[in-house]
Amino acid sequence: MLIHIPGILSREEVLHCRQRLEQSEWVDGKITAGDQSAKAKANLQIPQESDVAHQLGRLILNALARNDIFTSAALPLRVFPPLFNRYDVGMEFEYHVDNSIRPDPETGFRIRTDVSSTLFLSDTESYDGGELVIQDTYGVHTAKFPAGDLVLYPSTSLHKVNRVTRGSRWASFFWTQSMVKDDGCRTLLYELDQSIRQARQLIPDTSPAILGLTASYHNLVRRWAEL
Q: What average pLDDT does this structure show over 165-184?
A: 97
pLDDT at 33 exceeding the cut of 70: no
Do residue 50 and residue 113 come from a single domain? yes
Do residue 108 and residue 56 come from a single domain? yes
Do residue 117 and residue 220 come from a single domain? no
Say how many C-beta atoms besides its own lie within 10 A of residue 58's C-beta.
12
Phi, psi of 48 (to 5 degrees): -70, -15
Average pLDDT, the chain: 95
CA angle 209, 67, 92 (to 5 degrees): 125
User: Binding residue per annotation — 35?
Assistant: no
Do residue 54 and residue 155 come from a single domain? yes
Total count of domains within the chain: 2
Do residue 172 and residue 192 come from a single domain? no
pLDDT at 187 exceeding the cut of 90: yes
Cα-Cα-Cα-Cα torsion 29, 33, 37, 38, nearest 10 degrees, comes to 50
User: Binding residue per annotation — 98?
Assistant: yes
pLDDT at 186: 97
Do residue 114 and residue 193 come from a single domain? no
User: Binding residue per annotation — 54?
Assistant: no
User: Binding residue per annotation — 96?
Assistant: yes
Distance CA 189, CA 115 (A): 15
Do residue 140 and residue 213 come from a single domain? no
Do residue 174 and residue 192 come from a single domain? no
pLDDT at 116 exceeding the cut of 70: yes
Q: Are 169 and 128 in contact (CB under 8 A)?
A: no
Question: Between these two residues, 209 and 29, which has the higher pLDDT value?
Answer: 209
Distance CA 186, CA 180 (A): 6
pLDDT at 34: 59
Query: From the centroid of its chain, how far is CA 98?
Result: 12
pLDDT at 172 exceeding the cut of 90: yes
Q: What is the pTM of this model?
A: 0.94
CA angle 64, 141, 110 (to 5 degrees): 45
pLDDT at 104: 87
pLDDT band at 56 (very low <50, low <70, confident <90, very high): very high
Q: What average pLDDT does this structure show over 26-39?
A: 73
pLDDT at 108 exceeding the cut of 90: no
pLDDT band at 69 (very low <50, low <70, confident <90, very high): very high
Residue 218 belongs to domain with CATH number: 4.10.860
Do residue 107 and residue 72 come from a single domain? yes
Q: Among residues 51, 84, 63, 45, which one has the least CA distance to residue 174? A: 84
Q: What average pLDDT does this structure show over 32-56?
A: 84
Distance CA 117, CA 97 (A): 13
Distance CA 161, CA 86 (A): 11
Do residue 187 and residue 170 come from a single domain? no
Do residue 203 and residue 123 come from a single domain? no
Q: How far apart are the first and last CA of the chain?
A: 22
SS3 assignment for the chain = CCEEECCCCCHHHHHHHHHHHHCCCCEEHHHHCCHHHHCCEECEECCCCCHHHHHHHHHHHHHHHCCHHHHHHHCEEEECCCEEEEECCCCEEEEECCCCEEECCCCCCEEECCEEEEEECCCHHHEEECCEEEEECCEEEEECCCCCCEEEEECCCEEEECCEEEECEEEEEEEEEECCCCHHHHHHHHHHHHHHHHHHCCCCCCCHHHHHHHHHHHHHHHHHCCC
pLDDT at 32: 67
pLDDT at 35: 61
Structure confidence by residue, pLDDT tens digits, 132-171: 999 988 899 999 999 999 999 999 999 999 999 999 999 9
Structure confidence by residue, pLDDT tens digits, 205-220: 999 999 999 999 999 9
**Containing structural domain, residue 14:** 3-178
